[in-house]
Amino acid sequence: MFEHLAEYPGDPILSLIKTYQDDTRPEKVNLGVGVYLDAQGRLPVLQAVAAAEQQLRKAAPAPSMYLPMAGHDAYRLNAQRLQFGDQSQALAEGRIATIQTLGGSGALRTGADFLRQWFPDSGVWVSDPTWDNHLALFAGSGFTVGTYPYCRPASAELAFEAMLGTLSTLPRHSIVLLHPCCHNPTGLDLTNAQWLAVIQVLAEHELIAFVDCAYQGFGEGLEADVFAIREMERAGLSFLVSYSFSKNFSLYGERVGTLSVVCSSAPLATKALGQLQATVRRHYSSPPQHGALLVDLVLGSELADLWRTEVDAMRTRIAAMRELLAQALVEAGLPLGERIRRHRGLFSYTHLTRAQVLRLRQDHGIYLVDNGRLCLAGLTEEKLAYVSAAIADVIR
Ligand code: LMR
């Protein structure tokens, strides 16, 4: 019956987790998957999350009823306030439809299905390069996915003018996937002035921005990292935001995210919410409860301050590792060091060739994604000299 099935070659990022785990070399270093590890190279349990877990455990076991299709109500409100801000006019006017989703990927896929149904003639445009799964998720919903220039292969610099030029040529209602901070995979972010220029083009050409926010707090700070989202709202755009709490709550396994559709009126937001619920019902009916309860307990209480401090500490550690690696590579005479220094967030696009990435993996047990993406959050001071020497070895 199933003999015609094709082999699944595996995912370029997630398959690396298992390959890394199976590697028995003690010197191995995981700079592949986009996960924050602490200074000892461990996946942290945030103190704010641990306190919320304790509160849940102390309470009498609650019956486990289905959550509504849109998810946990208070969680959705707290997530909206974090993303759009307390001062958001769209929030005050009830113009944002938000559902709880299965992490950021679940938000992207639900948003893609929603758009495919209501904008069937639109195409989707993602940055070149982008997170591999963006292509798969939108293609999976039936879209044709094109790219806009983002990073110049030769110089590894941001191709901003070319990006803006391409966006200006897109047909009305084209869907444009944007990373508000910590661009995945390059680590090259737009300045605030560049964002304002992009927003002007989106408005003039009536493009649908789909903002994928998976790393709030890991770039410049919790507020600074959502500049693009806040400005799009202020500019009166109708747009979508997919959001993941996986990284900034270190809750990867709980699959906690949101999808928001910012509309021009409250009645339209009600309709959008209804359509999102219909999409959810067709896929998985309603989301799971535990992760959303934890995030809600933190964001809705004084634990939020502790959490903000912990996010700041994670960002500071990533930036410190970035600087140390940059310094070591510059000292080794490699221009890659200067480039890494200019990036933000978890990632740097090294422009190492696939052959060099494979040599790093095979000869040194250092795991990068095949496309040359390196995750700084997997680096520790203990491994720094080893990693920089290995990178120098494969480049020379
Ligand atoms: C990553 O980019 O490494 C993470 O977002 C994990 C994933 O799902 O690919």
Determine contact, residues 210/240, Cβ cutoff 8 Å: yes
Packing angle, helices 73-84 and 290-299, rounded to 10: 50
Cα(13) to centroid(ligand 1), Å? 6
Protein residue with least CA distance to atom 5, ligand 1: 34
Packing angle, helices 103-118 and 132-140, rounded to 10: 40
Protein residue with least CA distance to atom 3, ligand 1: 34
Mean of per-residue pLDDT scores for the chain: 97
Cα torsion 352, 358, 364, 365 to 10°: value is 110
Which parts of the chain fold into alpha helices (H)? 14-22, 47-58, 73-84, 89-92, 103-118, 132-140, 160-169, 192-204, 227-234, 266-283, 290-299, 303-331, 336-342, 354-364, 381-395
Residue 96 DSSP label: E
Question: Residue 392: left if φ>0, alpha if ψ -120 to 50, beta else—which one?
Answer: alpha
Output the pLDDT for position 396.
Answer: 87
Cα(65) to centroid(ligand 1), Å? 31
Output the pLDDT for position 319.
Answer: 98
Q: Is 125 a catalytic residue?
A: no
297-309 pLDDT per residue, tens: 999 999 999 999 9
Strands 347-349 and 256-262 turn out to be unpaired
Which of 13, 349, 367 to mutate for ligand 1's pocket (most ligand atoms within 8 Å of CB)? 13
Cα torsion 190, 191, 197, 199 to 10°: value is 70
Residue 1, number of CB atoms within 10 A of its CB: 4
Q: How many Å apart are CA 188 and CA 211, to the nearest integer?
A: 16
Q: How many Å apart are CA 15 and CA 363, to the nearest integer?
A: 19
Residue 97: strand pairing partners: 261
Q: Is 28 a catalytic residue?
A: no
332-358 pLDDT per residue, tens: 999 999 999 999 999 999 999 999 999
pTM for this model (two decimals): 0.97
Residue 218 DSSP label: S
Output the pLDDT for position 156.
Answer: 87
Query: Please, which pLDDT band fits residue 60 given cuts at 50, 70 and 90?
Result: confident
152-202 pLDDT per residue, tens: 887 889 999 999 999 999 999 999 999 999 999 999 999 999 999 999 999
Task: Give residue ranges with CB within 6 A of ligand 1.
Answer: 13-14, 33-34, 131, 133, 184
